[in-house]
Structure 1
């Protein structure tokens, strides 16, 4: 069994500026048991739930989730002309972010927050000191429109489209304040990770082969496809830079400048990227204790980029109830 270790002083200094809440390691140690392995270029961590996601676990997670959503909450509420803390019965009180998100959208952002939480809390491949200065939720354009409309018409509830681009971005910052590495990737929630669901997520949905009626094959446009075609410097880096420039230009001056150099079309400054895949949800019937979803001993052959890969699998027995209760509880 592996335990969550402390982050460094460097990460603490940067966290005090933007995304301020340290990962709740005591809660994680109580809630989840971890099986981890790491080899050159590939890390795999399986976490299994060992206690119910009750009020104690949710309260332990709540400060981190509020910190992760705080930038987008302020941004969306301001766009809609809402108070950050609208009283019951006040205009827009039904459209508070992220509490008002519909079920599917809640599960999506839950996975994205967990990506950052795990990046900050766990020892990933390469043992880098990862920093998550701010989450990129403000770039979920459909959520912004949804909240604007819902605050004016409470009957306009609907599902919300996911945010385009990387699910989250973490960075490594050297002693000079320059960014040297990114972590970016895909977070996927499924109610039950049965083999057919896993194959559809990773390999793409099944389609019928032309001229071979009834013969179905995966279309090849799943997570592996997205990871393999992802840019070495992802678009989320630009989104992160824009937020830092707006909210913390002095504190992050060196980071912003280095991101500018890294994104140059000609002769960009060197940087490295780590790919992250986070799979979270319920267990398939018959799955054994400690049994991973993806290959753990060697890097999966489907990962075709010459980049480090980190896989995190989180198996929950009451994930649906925990997510809804947690998002109902944010900013009480």
Structure 2
């Protein structure tokens, strides 16, 4: 599938308010948005639809092989994806939120001064540990057994590899720019995780691993647009990465703001990349300070 949803900019800008930036480092930019929770209602339905569309490919993969055109999944008992992702652990859902906000930001706010970035699909289908976990959850529910999704025992490892990839195309539809995105989503800021995220981005190769995964994903769809993306991604995988420019992006979503915002606007460094980032590539650091992070996760993924 090729994603198509966007949200309306005016309510998005009213909910995530851009903070003034003073970063002057030539190869680095920091952008900070702070949530105004009172304005969430104006965006609620659009953001839920955007977050759920990002997961549709994962649902397709979960259901693959179970489809029956004569008997669609009208009963949750028969649907292997019925409890996806609502019954997964909150930590997993926070991860999904972080990756989705990364894509939303570059699609709506742009990156490096350009606003035509495209995220053709998210990579949630490759979270195999959670799909195996979902089978266990479905069995419990089917048998009437209790299930506490946020119990410590329900935590599963996160997916490895690129969190998301965004691209820019030229007039002929050829990929000219790649933006590899690393996403973190935490209730409270953590300096060790910030360092780890920068290190992972820095170690990334010129040809991100997510390109192969996107080819695999989009090859499952026979639409003209999906096949066009497959063709351009194969060209990029073979030798286009030598000419297409790779940049990096860190999307850091956090449930608290600095204690003294007048003297410290962000948890991420404002004047230069973190010391763990040693690559010679442009780096776009994006920080989202979400005061009602738990509430947002419940509304987007648990129908609260």
TM-score calculated relative to the size of structure 1: 0.77
| Distance in 2 of aligned mates of 1:78 and 1:230 | 32
| Distance in 1 of aligned mates of 2:214 and 2:166 | 9
| Distance in 2 of aligned mates of 1:256 and 1:93 | 28
Show the counterpart of 1:272. 245
Cα gap change, 1:54/1:128 in structure 2, threshold over 3 Å: closer, same or farther?
closer
Provide structure 1 residue ranges, at least 5 long, that are not aligned to the other structure. 1-16, 204-221
Provide structure 2 residue ranges, at least 5 long, that are not aligned to the other structure. none
CA contact (8 A) 1:94 1:150 kept: no
How well do the aligned residues superpose, as a CA RMSD in angstroms?
Answer: 2.8
Secondary structure, in 3 states, of the residue corresponding to 1:325? helix
Tell me whether 321-330 or 113-122 shows the greater mean CA deviation.
Answer: 321-330
CA contact (8 A) 2:91 2:155 kept: yes
Give the C-alpha shift of residue 80 in structure 1: 6.4
Give the C-alpha shift of residue 98 in structure 1: 1.9
Show the counterpart of 1:211. none
Q: 1:233 aligns with which of 204, 207, 210?
A: 207
Give the C-alpha shift of residue 229 in structure 1: 0.8
CA contact (8 A) 1:49 1:316 kept: yes
Give the C-alpha shift of residue 137 in structure 1: 0.7
Show the counterpart of 2:11. 27
Tell me whether 153-162 or 123-132 shows the greater mean CA deviation.
Answer: 153-162
Tell me whether 293-302 or 315-324 shows the greater mean CA deviation.
Answer: 293-302
Give the C-alpha shift of residue 268 in structure 1: 5.9
Question: Structure 2 matches for 1:148-167, cutoff 5 A?
Answer: 148-154=135-141, 155=145, 158-167=154-163
* CA offsets 1:69-96 (integer angstroms, 9 cap, x no match): 11111221336669885436x3458942
Cα gap change, 1:103/1:81 in structure 2, threshold over 3 Å: closer, same or farther?
farther
Cα gap change, 1:321/1:43 in structure 2, threshold over 3 Å: closer, same or farther?
same
Give the C-alpha shift of residue 64 in structure 1: 0.7
Is 1:124 the counterpart of 2:111? The answer is yes
Show the counterpart of 1:209. none
Secondary structure, in 3 states, of the residue corresponding to 1:259? helix
| Distance in 2 of aligned mates of 1:19 and 1:322 | 22
CA contact (8 A) 1:91 1:151 kept: no
